[in-house]
Amino acid sequence: MRAIGYCRVSTDEQGDSGLGLDAQRAVITTESDRRGWTLDTIHTDIASGKSLRGRSHFATALQQLARRDADVLVVAKLDRLSRSVSDFAAILAQSQTEGWALNICDLGVDTTTPSGKMVAQIMMVLAEWEREMIGDRTRAALRAAKAKGAKLGRRANVAPETVRLIRVLRESGRSYGAIAAALTTEGVPTAQGGRWHAATIKKIHETYN
């Protein structure tokens, strides 16, 4: 099998010094050798672990995997790939859809094996539970805001409660479309009395973030 490695550090200083990167590369190389995989390349990003945005080298790795230039993505530690359960679940789902495998060395999650696939499925179930819990908290917060007489709208009249909800949902991994659907379902009025749209949520998030 052909493998691609991925490393990440959070700061320029760590990137310049190699602090942490050498250890990650060593784990990835050792695992690939142990499994008899051909390690084509190791991609490295210097970026925050809070989200998947802004990681150009990770995006390149995903493109290569999607093209089947490689068969498995190897990462030394889960937190080097993602600190969000929902983000990790999305990566797992993408790997299954596109037909490549994922190996997280510190967890022993290796979707080239039956046991690794089982662990991955459990983590995806936990991610779905997390999303449902976020939905419950969102609905409770919306009800509390409406009970206080808050006018939840958009543009310049957006209430602080709505802005905070949008920010929390966005940081939890929800898409703009999913946030719009949640607000519409809960009956939060828009300025024009219609449905919430992804473009509106995006504008609010960018304006107030």
- Name the residues annotated as catalytic: 10
Tokens 């990681």 appear where?
A: 55
Distance CA 74, CA 204 (A): 37
Neighbour-count burial for 45-62, b at 16+ CB within 10 Å, e otherwise = bbbebeebeebebbeebb
Distance CA 154, CA 197 (A): 11
Which residues neighbour 181 within 8 Å (Cβ) at sequence distance 6 or greater? Answer: 196
For residue 16, which amino acid is it?
Answer: D
Tokens 């504008």 appear where?
A: 203
